[in-house]
Homo-oligomer: A and B are copies of this chain.
Amino acid sequence: MTVRSRFFTETEGQAVGVENAAAKGDVVLVCEHASATIPEKLGTLGLSPDVLSSHAAWDPGALAVARLLSQKLDATLVHQRFSRLVYDCNRPPESPSAMPVKSEIYNIPGNLDLSEAERFARTSALYVPFHDRVSGIIAERQDRGRKVVVVTIHSFTPVYHGQFREVQIGILHDTDSRLADAMLVGAEGSALTVKRNDPYGPEDGVTHTLRLHALPDGLLNVMIEIRNDLIANEGDQSAIADFLHELMGKALSSIDE
């Protein structure tokens, strides 16, 4: 019996979702904020249904786009099955944002004064198995001599702290900008407003997954942020997935490794 197994109910299963595990493509897709689900044993975290379905709890549309890309790229997809309000898997345990007491304008009562045991349960049930799985998938491919490209898929709210955001697609990177650079070149002249490290960048601590899984071994990588009003329905999700698929394909074929 593990902390993880007692954190969830039997029907909830476990934290990590893996799709297209046997994919042949080079890309491994990661979606840390795929779900707004709160584990039953944690109730509502003291939040209203509005907040629990808002961008504070998850990245709306991100999983849908990631799934489309997983098919188009023949890419394995790893996604977190529970809300980032419980544990934000794009943050290390030492970050105050890992189990946030505030998200944008919302206080999170259920995250106030967490005990060390509660923090351990979340780290152990949500964070460690998630990144352990991503790491294992990448390592197995490396062991078989396969190329690996790490791509994380996120969405952001069009209005943040009352300010409207012009950017529609953010191409984010940390110290290794090869794939991001190539995608930004490819996006020039497109109908969409595509920007580098916007609305977030590595200084906001959002490149944790890239730092864990791509930078140590020098794997090509990028983090994609999509403004969530552009992926609110299936048709739009499909259009954005097509756009990103083409952009990524051209970028990857332009990079001589």
Q: Which residues of A contact B (CB under 8 A)?
A: 1-4, 6, 92-94, 115-117, 119-120, 123-124, 128, 131-132, 135-136, 139-140, 143, 208, 211-213, 215-216
Contacts and interface: CB of A to CB of B under 8 A. Distances in A.
Nearest to A142: B1
Nearest to A212: B117
B93 A208 contact: no
Nearest to A216: B117
B2 A132 contact: yes
Contacts of A92: 93, 116, 119-120
A131 B3 CA distance: 9
Contacts of A4: 132
Contact of A116 (B116, B136, B212): B212
A132 B129 CA distance: 12
Contacts of A143: 1
Nearest to A131: B120
Nearest to A5: B136
Contacts of A6: 139
16 contacts: A1-B136, A1-B143, A2-B136, A3-B131, A3-B132, A93-B123, A94-B94, A115-B216, A117-B212, A117-B215, A117-B216, A120-B212, A123-B123, A124-B128, A124-B131, A128-B128
Contacts of A131: 3, 120, 124
Nearest to A94: B94
A2 B117 contact: no
Nearest to A6: B139
A1 B140 CA distance: 7
Given A92-B93, A123-B128, A132-B4, A211 B139 contact: no
